[in-house]
Amino acid sequence: MRNSSPRDKSETHGNGPRKAGSAGSAEFAPADPPLSFPRWAEALAASSLPLRERQSYAITLRWYLSFCKRSGLRVNKASARGFLDQAIRKHGKDEFKVESWRNALRWFFRTAPKPTTKTPSKSAVSDMNAATHGDCSSEAPIGAGADWQQLLVRSVRIRQFSYQTEKTYLGWMRRFAVHLGGDPRQAEANDLRSFLDHLALRGRVAASTQRQALNALVFWHRDVLGREPGDFSDYLRAAPSARIPVVLSRRELELLFDALPDNRRLPARLQYGSGLRASELLRLRVKDLDFDQGHVVVRGGKGDKDRATPLPQALRPALERHLEEVQDLYERDRAEGRAGVWMPPGLGRKYPGAAREWGWFWVFPSRQIGPDPRSGICRRHHTLPRVYQRDVAAAARQAGLAKRVTPHALRHSFATHLLEAGVSLRTVQDLLGHTSIETTRIYLHVMRRPDGELTSPLDL
C-alpha cells in the first residue's frame, strides 16, 4: 500500500499505549453487490408466512433499511451483518430476538431480485474507449454509493493512491459507519476511540490491522473533511505481536517449484530469486527486466519507492522464452484494437501512447480481458494476486509441505538465504526495500548460524 505523510503521522497519534490481549488477524468478507427491492413490503404481505411473522419481519426490515440510509451504506449482505452486530450490541443478545432479526434478513435477501451487472456507459469513458472496448460488462466503479463514500474516493484518487489503498480505506470507513450507526461526517473523537477500542477488544485484531484502521480514520478527517479528528490518543492499542517468518529450505523450495503448474513456476522462481513482494512481481513491466545490467527494477514499491534487485542469471533463458510468448499476446491485443495496459495517472496523461507500447506491457499478463475497476475500460490486466496466492498454496499442499506457505514465504527465504551466505544485513535491507533495519533484523532469528546449527542440550 502506498504511504503518505498523513498516514505516517497517524501511526504515532497519541501519548502512550494501553495494551489489549493477544492479537489475531482480521479479514473482511468481500463486498456484495447492492440490492434493489423497493416493493419488499408488498412481497412480504403476499407471502405465506404467518401474520405475526410478517409483522415482525416488517419492523426489522424497516429498521435495517433506515440504518442503511442513516449510515450511507448500500443494501447488501455486508451492511446486514453490520446491522446485526450493532443491534446485538445495543439491544442485547436475547436469542429469540436475534433469531427473529436473522430470519427477517434471510427472507429479504432470498426474496429480493438478484442484482445484475451493468455495462459501462459511454459517458463513463471517452468515446474512443467506449468504441474500442465494446460490451465488456462490469459493476459501477467504487464511489458510486453514498455521498460520503464519493468524497472519500475522490480524495484518494486526487492524491493518486493505489487502487488497493482505495479499497482498504473505503472498507474501513464502511465498517466505521456501521459501528457508528450513522454518517461518518458527524463522528467525533469519542467515536473514533470507541471504534479502535472495539477492534482491539472484541475484534482482537493485530496491531498492524488496527494501525491500518487508524490511518483510514485520520485520512478521512484531515484530508477529506479538512479538520483535525480531535484527541483520541488514549484509545486501547492492540497488543503487538512478533511473528517468526516462514522460511523454506532449498529442498522445500525445489519441491514447491516442481509442484507448481507451468504458468506459475517461473514467476515463483523469480520472486524468490529477486526477493519481490507478490504485488511487485505481478506488476512488473517488460522494461523493468534489465538483462544487460542484471537487475530487476521495482517501481512504486511499498512507500512508493523504487529500487533495484538482482535478476537471477539462471532464469534468463526461461524469461526470454516467456517474453516471446507474451509478445504474441501483446501483438494480438494491438491487432484487435484493445486498450493499452493500465498506467499511473500522471504518466498516462504525459505519455498517452505509452499504454500501448511493448515496454509497458505486463511481464505476467492475465489471459483474460476484464474491466478496469475504476474507469470501466476493458483491458488486459496482470495476473491477479489472489489467483497466484491460491496456486502457490495448492502447490505447497501437493508437495507435502507442512508449513503455511504463501508467496511471501519466497521473499522471506530470499532474505534468509542471503544472510546465511554472508551478505550484510544492510545490503539485504536495501534489496528488500525496508525502511528500517529492524524489520530486516527478524531474519537473523531464523537463519542457520555460520558456525553450524544450534544444538539442544539433550543432544550433547
Query: Which sequence positions are flagged as catalytic?
Result: 277, 302, 408, 411, 434, 443
Alpha helices (H) along 51-94? 51-71, 77-91
**For the chain, first and last CA: distance in Å?**
48
Residue 164 φ then ψ, to 5°? -65, -40
* Count of residues making up the chain: 460
Give the cell for residue 317: 533463458
Q: Judge whether 443 and 418 are in contact, CB under 8 Å.
A: no
Say which residue the cell 527478524 belongs to: 442
Residue 5 φ then ψ, to 5°? -60, -40
Separation of alpha carbons 255 and 278, rounded Å: 20
Separation of alpha carbons 266 and 272, rounded Å: 10
Say which residue the cell 483510514 belongs to: 216
Q: Which of 245, 224, 56 is nearest to 149 (CA)?
A: 224
Q: What is the longest distance spanned by two Cα atoms in the chain? A: 80
Q: Judge whether 196 and 213 are in contact, CB under 8 Å.
A: yes
Separation of alpha carbons 407 and 388, rounded Å: 8
Q: Judge whether 276 and 298 are in contact, CB under 8 Å.
A: yes
The 10 Å Cβ neighbour count of residue 270 is: 23
Separation of alpha carbons 252 and 264, rounded Å: 16
Q: Are strands 289-290 and 236-237 parallel, antiparallel or unpaired?
A: unpaired
* Contacts of range 286-292, beta carbons closer than 8 Å, 24 or more positions apart: 286/323, 286/326, 286/358, 286/359, 286/360, 286/361, 286/362, 286/363, 287/359, 287/360, 288/363, 289/319, 289/323, 289/363, 291/316, 291/319, 291/320
Residues whose CB is less than 8 angstroms from the CB of residue 316 and which lie 6 or more positions away in sequence, other chains included = 291
H/E stretch holding 406:
none
